[in-house]
């Protein structure tokens, strides 16, 4: 058990989100919100899908990476940036760095999904592979950052990342203004933290649930305990949600706002992926499908309500679709 990070709500004031939204306007895609009647009937609610699987680099991560990089000084950009990631944040940092004409170094896991690894290299990043857990990748990246004078662009341990990810909610409120419940995948917590902070600023009455694999339930355990709790392993099909503990920056934000954390099984994740493809015609990776799995299989708290499930990414190994 570890202490949580400190929280200053002034960092997440509405004006800060508006600044992030302005920076990302015309750069990040304004991804659609779509509906599928079959999925709504299955879920027993009016279910909409926020398609961040159609975001640049295939996931919501581009928002936070680009926004944080926009705040760096010329000297910081000249030296270059570094990050550690299972894949989606890697691609986001690589793409944003290319757009800012900045060197990017990325530490990815030994078992990184092939399509994510290839895309990160295609965007021009220098890729190193290390271990399977975020902790292993972080340790290697921190050493390289010190040795090379590189600026760390973390996946979730910086308020600027949360501000960028929170712009997703600003779009949802414009596209689905009657939304009552939001279901959000959670790994390290950058997306859920940004959504919770934005909800506090823009729609305090919005009900927000985080969703994670039941065999990687560090967030559920931590919220229940009121403190950051570590787990020993997170060997889930959802490779982007293999965190062993919540991030210290997003945890206190989420703890103050979230209604709860829903756990979903590996089979439920696979079934959600298959239904999204076959019925909604959307390619969604396992990590991106967990919110839909919660809507389909754990819907008792929000049956009959206006629900948006966030599809956080679409960078899937096509073989996973047919397992």
Token match 């010329």: residue? 74
Domain hosting residue 119, numbered range: 61-152
Q: pLDDT tens digits for 111-142?
A: 888 888 999 999 999 999 988 777 788 999 99
- Domain match, 164 and 279 both: yes
| pLDDT for res 319 | 62
| pLDDT for res 133 | 77
- Domain match, 101 and 38 both: no
- Domain match, 181 and 197 both: yes
Helices marked H in 247-285? 250-257, 266-278
Count of structural domains within the chain: 2
- Domain match, 73 and 47 both: no
Does residue 228 lie in a domain region? yes
Does residue 4 lie in a domain region? no
- Domain match, 41 and 65 both: no
- Domain match, 198 and 79 both: no
Confidence of residue 322 (pLDDT cuts 50, 70, 90): low
**Percent of the chain scoring above 70 in pLDDT:** 96
Does residue 269 lie in a domain region? yes
Does residue 1 lie in a domain region? no
- Domain match, 177 and 309 both: yes
- Domain match, 89 and 215 both: no
d(CA 296, CA 304): 13
- Domain match, 191 and 310 both: yes
Does residue 181 lie in a domain region? yes
Q: Are 242 and 186 in contact (CB under 8 A)?
A: no
For residue 6, pLDDT beyond 80: no
The residues near 69 (Cβ < 8 Å, ≥ 6 apart) are 77, 81, 93, 96, 97, 100, 102, 153
Buried b (16+ CB within 10 A) or exposed e, 28-63: beebebbebeebbebbbbbbbbbbbbbbbbbbbbbb
DSSP code of 260?
Answer: E
Q: pLDDT tens digits for 42-58?
A: 999 999 999 999 999 99
Does residue 3 lie in a domain region? no
Q: Are 165 and 192 in contact (CB under 8 A)?
A: no
Q: Domain of 100: which CATH number? A: 3.40.50.1100
Does residue 98 lie in a domain region? yes
DSSP assignments along 108-145, one per residue? E-TT--HHHHHHHHHTT-EEEE--SSHHHHHHHHHHHH
Last residue of a domain, one of 119, 135, 152: 152
- Domain match, 131 and 276 both: no
- Domain match, 193 and 294 both: yes
| pLDDT for res 87 | 86
Q: pLDDT tens digits for 272-312?
A: 999 999 999 999 999 999 999 999 999 999 999 999 999 99
Does residue 130 lie in a domain region? yes
- Domain match, 44 and 70 both: no
Last residue of a domain, one of 137, 152, 167: 152
For residue 2, pLDDT beyond 90: no
Last residue of a domain, one of 119, 152, 185: 152
């Amino acid at each position: 058990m570890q202490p949580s990070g400190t929280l200053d709500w002034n960092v997440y004031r509405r004006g800060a989100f508006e600044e992030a939204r302005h920076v990302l306007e015309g750069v990040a895609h304004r991804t659609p919100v779509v509906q599928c009647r079959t999925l709504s009937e299955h879920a027993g609610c009016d279910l909409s899908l926020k398609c961040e699987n159609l975001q640049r680099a295939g996931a919501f991560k581009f928002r936070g990476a680009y926004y944080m990089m926009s705040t760096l000084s010329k000297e910081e950009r000249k030296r270059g940036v570094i990050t550690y990631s299972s894949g989606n944040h890697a691609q986001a940092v690589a793409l944003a760095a290319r757009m800012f004409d900045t060197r990017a170094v990325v530490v990815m896991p030994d078992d990184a999904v092939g399509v994510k690894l290839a895309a990160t290299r295609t965007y021009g990043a220098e890729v190193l592979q290390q271990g399977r857990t975020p902790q292993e990748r972080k340790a290697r990246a921190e050493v390289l950052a010190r040795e090379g004078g590189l600026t760390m662009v973390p996946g979730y341990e910086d308020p600027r990342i949360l501000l960028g990810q929170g712009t997703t909610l600003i779009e949802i409120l414009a596209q689905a203004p009657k939304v009552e419940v939001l279901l959000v995948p959670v790994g390290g917590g950058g997306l859920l933290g940004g959504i919770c902070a934005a909800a506090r600023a823009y729609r305090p009455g919005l009900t927000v649930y985080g969703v994670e694999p039941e065999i990687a339930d560090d967030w559920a355990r931590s919220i229940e305990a009121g403190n950051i709790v570590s787990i020993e392993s997170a060997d889930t099909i959802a490779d982007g949600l293999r965190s062993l503990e919540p991030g210290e920056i997003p945890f206190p934000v989420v703890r103050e706002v979230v209604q709860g954390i829903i756990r979903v099984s590996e089979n439920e994740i696979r079934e959600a992926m298959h239904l999204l493809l076959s019925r909604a015609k959307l390619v969604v990776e396992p990590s991106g499908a967990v919110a839909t799995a919660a809507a389909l299989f754990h819907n008792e708290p929000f049956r009959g309500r206006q629900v948006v499930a966030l599809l956080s990414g679409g960078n899937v190994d096509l073989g996973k679709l047919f397992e």
